[in-house]
Amino acid sequence: MKPTLPTRTAGRLHKARSEALTVQFSSCLFINSASSPDHEFHTDGAFSVMKTTVLFLTRAQRLCGSRAACLSRLSPKAGLRSFSTSPAAASRLREILSISDEISEAVATNKPVVALESTIYTHGNLGNDLAKEHLDLVRSHGGIPAIIAIVDGRPKVGVSYQEILRMIEDKSTVKASRRDIAYLVGMGLNGRKIHGGTTIAGTMLLAKAAGIRVFGTGGLGGVHRGGENSMDISADLTELGRTRVAVIGSGCKGFLDIPRTLEFLETQGCLVSTFADGRQGSVDFPAFWARDSGIKSPSTVYTEKEAASIIYAQEKLGIESGMFFANPISEEHGIPASEMQAVIEQAVREANEKGFTGNNNTPYILGRLRQLTSDKTVVANKALVHSNIIRATNVSVELSRLLSPGSTKTGSSPLSQSPISTISRPAGATSEPAPALSPVSNILVAGSVAVDLSCDYSSSTTGITTPQSHVSNPSRISQSIGGVGRNVAVAAHLASGGSGVQFCSMVGDDVAGHTVLTSLEASGLDTSSIMKLDHRQHPEGRTAQYVAVNDGNKDLVLAMADMNIFSKNSFSDHWRSTVTTSKPKWLIVDGNWAPPQIRNWIRAGEENEAKVAFEPVSAEKSQGLFCPERGLPRLNLYPESSISLASPNTYELAAMHTAAKENGYFEPMDWFEVIDAFGMRGARDRFVHLTSVELTDAGVPIQTIQLLPYIPTILTKLGSRGVLLTAILGKDDPRLRDRDEEAFILTRSPPTHPVVGGVYMRLFPPVETVKDIVSVNGVGDTFLGVLVSGLARGGRVDKLVDVAQRGAVLTLKSAESVSPLLGTLAEEVQNASNR
């Protein structure tokens, strides 16, 4: 009687199923059971296999029972997409897998993330700068790159370029496939820190755990020639059969057995489809360096949007196998298959003769092909990887759109009516590269948000108006959401008619953070770029809070502020990616960030051709802009100024000027050259004429002049006295020839000067005198938000100052830090922008 599988055994095995233990059966099951006296070979092959299977499963049953707790940690439910609702599971995975803040946030909000393997970098054969090229490439096409590797014995998603360089320099760095990951991590837990460059299989495994759906790479491993005897089959293929990640590469290298590779992938349940790349009908599966292999692709896709729809459908259907989208090398860089065939045959023959097998086979053949083709394969290799990463980014962008709320998932027809096939398209149909994400904002505000608590002493029985120390005092406590960045963003949002403004900030994963997010979402502000920091990874990740204790007359007695979340957490690649994706016309940065972060924000704006406005926040924090430059990105001077505009009050202006002077910003020759072009000799009388004796004696005009080379437009807020505008006029500025503006031209530069035309200085009186002020909180923030909302529409600063002042007046009359009535100015802002 043939043995049967006990029901209880099957049930326990099913329960313990995990990615850490996969039991597969086929007609070619080989199990090393030589140590068991129960194992014997019979001529009845089916009986032998069944008997061996029962013995193996019985042992597996005992193993699963004793390892239940360990296996549960590595189950598919541990993936980020699944454990996002389970803090306990998330915490367990974070103990092993390191995921950068940028990637965590991007996955959680369905932004277009692209996984990149690290083996291609760590072997160093294609140059040490390759990783940086690929990171920049993904970002330039609207995606967020995620290099994956084992760094110091810990799997990491979101590896930096500096870490890759360190791995390249370390000669002990190894190649890490699925089988190697637990070994490397286990050694790391025991103090032996080993780097591992992940292969396609290793990268897929960790990408899935991090919730990443799309992976761009070079080429796929496959079945080696003679694999039916040697069983030399790449782990990439089995990984594609069990890990739902879409891999985009240029097919298989020509020295592999491509027909058997495709047969193996079919058995594994992996979709294989090739991009038509401008061709019609059925197309060949590519052979890495060659566009055509002579083997027809199982299916064809024509656009990145089609590929994204397939990925979307696979996920919704719950199919756990992966997908491989083959992207043929361009005609320009491809090497014809006929040309490659001879050198491949020679390299394969030599590898066999010299005994290069297993994981030594491919490196030897690749090195030999490089020699035999005089580096043509290397040039083609770099070009195809470049193309694949662009294709992967475009697919990820399209998938992000499908996953976004409110998107049309299936277009005008149901999924069932759009099968993947090789049916020819109408004549003229070509592959349509997906564009990068369209800009989501005209204005991006990077700054603080905080919960403000106001404690007003309210003793009505004793007549005492001051709270007493060391005892509990009766009070009226009110809560609001504030923060300079938040105020500026809300003001710009309202003055822009409720669109085009994006807010970047940080909150903690705490009650205050949830309160902040709820409030911002209720205001209609885009909060997709607000990072929520986990306390375990960010000890200083508490949501910012400000507590004011006021006396009975509402005058401040004591205040406590916790703003460490902005000063203690470093600038993340997430922020740079946000600016790149949004491509704003204006980037507003407030001074609550630590000086290095302020510089990094400014640099991100410059890199994406955004004009940068700086809001100083306070006299102390305003100095962060002109801190010592050691190790920081340099502030460029006019005409390539890093900053376009700043809006200090007189105290902040004086503090900025002092910091710039003390830290050597007035010493470079290029600063002197700009100042000299102004022709400022004997300017005091002109200062008095254009401003006042009081402001001139306080040094306000000269301070703005000396800061102009770094900030060519400065709006000094003077409270009840109005606003002083000081600006550099370019050589072709129309105001230099406008008679109505003649009175405000402080100086004119020599006509021969190549860039500077003169200096504009104008004191704008207040638009209204407010007698019954409700609150001064947020008035300056409102002014800047309204002003930039007009600048982003193409307006000129001198035409917008008055409407910005009217916005500030509305906030003066409001109990809110930003008046909810600002929306009534949207039309006026638009009209002022058109003047």
Active site residues: 117, 253
| Coil, helix or strand at residue 660 | helix
| Phi, psi at 159, each rounded to 5° | -75, 140
Whether the CB-CB separation of 444 and 315 falls below 8 Å is answered with no
H/E stretch holding 174: strand 174-176
Distant-in-sequence, close-in-space partners of 580: CB < 8 Å, separation ≥ 6: 139, 140, 142, 604, 607, 608
How far is C-alpha 353 from the geometric centre of its chain's CA atoms? 49
Residue 670 has which token pair? 């290029």
Regarding beta strands 556-562 and 756-764, do their DSSP bridges make them parallel or antiparallel, or are they unpaired?
unpaired
Instruction: Retrieve residue 740's tokens.
Output: 């109505």
Widest pairwise Cα distance in the chain = 114
Distance from C-alpha of 511 to C-alpha of 542, rounded to nearest angstrom = 10
| Pairing, β 723-730 against β 756-764 | antiparallel
Cα 178 → chain centroid: 27
> Which residue, among 443, 444, 442, 471, has the nearest Cα to 457 in the 3D structure?
471
Tokens of 123: 């072997």
**CA atoms of 311 and 395, how far apart (whole Å):** 9
Provide the terminal-to-terminal Cα distance of the chain, rounded to the nearest Å: 95
Q: Dihedrals φ, ψ of 803, to 5°? A: -70, -35
Q: 214-216 and 196-198 as β-strands: parallel, antiparallel, unpaired?
A: unpaired
Q: Can you tell me whether residue 85 is helix, strand or coil? A: coil
* Strand ranges (E), 199-313: 214-216, 246-249, 271-275, 300-301
Name the 3-class secondary structure at 246: strand
Exposed e or buried b for every residue in 774-809, given b needs 16+ CB within 10 A?
eeebbbbbbbbbbbbbbbbbebebbebbbbbbbbbb
What is residue 450's three-state secondary structure? strand
Q: Count Cβ atoms within 10 A of the Cβ of residue 4 and give its class: 0-12 exposed, 13-18 middle, 19 or more buried.
A: exposed
> Would strands 586-590 and 443-446 be described as parallel, antiparallel, or unpaired?
parallel
Using CA atoms, how far residue 224 sits from 228, 361, 371, 712, in Å, is 9, 9, 21, 64
Total Cβ atoms within 10 A of residue 631: 7
Q: Where are the alpha helices (DSSP H) in 67-100?
A: 68-73, 80-83, 87-94
The Cα–Cα gap between 172 and 198 comes to 14
Strands of 501-508's sheet in order across: 530-533, 501-508, 443-446, 586-590, 611-615, 645-646, 713-717, 723-730, 756-764, 745-748
